[in-house]
Amino acid sequence: MIPSCDTETLSADQYAIEGVEAGVADTGIHYNDRNDFVVFSLAGGTATAATFTRNLFAAAPVVIAIRHLQAISPQYLMINAGNANAGTGQQGLQDALDGCRYLAELRHTPIESVLPFSTGVIGEYLPMDKIRKGVDGALQNLSAQNWQAAAQAIMTTDTVPKIATEHFSINGLPCQITGISKGAGMMHPNMATMLAFLATDAAVPRPLLQQALQTAVDDSFHCITIDGDTSTNDACVVCATGKGRLSVSESDDIYDAFTAKLTLVCRRLAELIVRDGEGASKLARIRVTGGHSHEECRTIGSTVALSPLVKTALFGQDPNWGRILAAVGRAPVEPFELTKVDIFLDDVCVIRGGEKDKWYLEEDGIRVMQRDEITITINMNHGKHEIEILTSDLSHGYVSINADYRS
């Protein structure tokens, strides 16, 4: 994992959100001697919004979760790690439903009040006896202090749990947002390959919460890429319990302030995913500035971030700026003036006006490429828009992890 500059350690109480409890369990679905199952219990009146994978082979739990979310307000989120329940056809759908039904009957609630989520190996059927074991175990230890335990339980190839929280006030009214995520490979927008679960004690109407989440996801999880692959199981869920003092409405500036804080937490979780990228040794920030449009900046940044040659140069600590230049030039955007483009490695200018900067020294480029974190800035110099895409290097470790994933 790429070291994080954030070394703050918080207590379990500081992550807790009033109206949300989590329980964890060890089912042995894929891993030995570790928790791999989570149930979140939501207080009555909680509003829930979500975004899901756009992969046409959406996993069975995604199909069921979307269907249930459209029916009624969820009361439970049920997550298993180690088995994706994807590519499993009708049996997979039935298994996801049966898991929901088992929990719902134990809690005397409609089956639609349970949203299922799975992550792990594709193409294997869920071991339903272990799913029921997970439900039983997780319900027995529901606690508001279990966010950190839940972050660990949803891990697959992750090497560390990913959790973030933000305490803030808007117009003097206190509020909190806490979130966890998992993901280290098959990482790319639409959705960025991951699971993320967030909660807030604010009162937010569901349509407004969905709108805020989409904005937050677009500016965070949709701005990261590790390998360009998108999964079948991705989801990002936010739950607003309304147990705090802050109420968010569309008619005032509170919505914008709340959305900014939700985006901040999502960005922290997104960065933790990239830092933990499979086999990653470097975090690269691809900053595209001076673009005609936000979409142009996103397209150029993603093209550079996805380039295997750029990513292997990062791993090899090679300041091969020609690979960056070539990636910018092949980005599928409207033609631009080459003589306006500037490219920097951190503070070192390598391209000025579309050609090698006359003051550039190779040793300066090497010095930058030896760092754990690198910012590649591409200034198009023909507009006012900008974006930052996060990516990692491509190492021998990435190949090893994915070559041995199912073993």
CA distance 96 to 222: 27
Instruction: Please state the rounded mean pLDDT for residues 9-29.
Output: 94
Q: Which of 193, 200, 232, 391 is catalytic?
A: 193
Helix and strand counts by DSSP (H, E) for the chain: 12, 15
Q: What is the pLDDT of residue 403?
A: 63
| 27 noted as active-site residue | no
- The CATH label, of 3.10.20.340, 3.40.50.300, 1.10.3720.10, 1.10.760.10, for the domain at 283-403 is 3.10.20.340
Residue 352: per-residue pLDDT: 97
Residue 71 pLDDT > 50? yes
Task: Give pTM, 2 decimals.
Answer: 0.89
At the topology level, CATH places domain 12-275 in: L-amino peptidase D-ALA esterase/amidase (3.60.70)
| pLDDT tens digits, one per residue of 31-62 | 888 999 999 999 999 999 999 988 788 899 99
Separation CA 390–CA 116 (nearest Å): 29
- Mean pLDDT, range 333-348, rounded to an integer: 95
* pLDDT tens-digit readout, 257-310: 999 999 999 999 999 988 887 667 889 999 999 999 999 999 999 999 989 899
Q: What is the mean predicted confidence (pLDDT) over 150-154?
A: 97
Strand positions, DSSP E, 205-347: 235-240, 283-291, 342-345
* Cα 337 to Cα 286: distance, rounded to the nearest angstrom: 20
Q: Tell me the mean pLDDT in the region 134-141.
A: 98
Mean pLDDT of 187-207: 79
Give the sign of the dihedral formed by CA 204, CA 208, CA 209, CA 213.
negative
Residue type, position 338, single letter: L
pLDDT of 406 above 90 = no
Q: In this model, does residue 138 exceed pLDDT 90?
A: yes
Q: In the chain, where does the domain assigned CATH 3.60.70.12 lie?
A: 12-275
Q: What is the pLDDT of residues 158-186, one digit of tens each?
A: 888 999 999 999 999 999 999 999 975 44
Is residue 130 within 8 A of residue 31, CB to CB? The reply is no
User: Cα separation of 199 and 204, whole Å?
Assistant: 11
Query: Is residue 31 packed enough to be buried (19+ CB in 10 Å), middle (13-18) or exposed (0-12)?
Result: middle
* Torsional sign, CA 210, 212, 217, 223: positive
Q: Please write the tens of the pLDDT for every residue from 201-230.
A: 999 999 999 999 999 999 998 888 765 556
Residue-level pLDDT at 228: 55
Listed in order, the ranges of the chain carrying CATH 3.10.20.340 are 283-403
pLDDT of residue 192: 41
**What digits encode the pLDDT tens for the residues 83-117?**
999 999 999 999 999 999 999 999 999 999 999 99
**Contact present, 55 and 232 (Cβ < 8 Å):** yes
d(CA 47, CA 208): 10
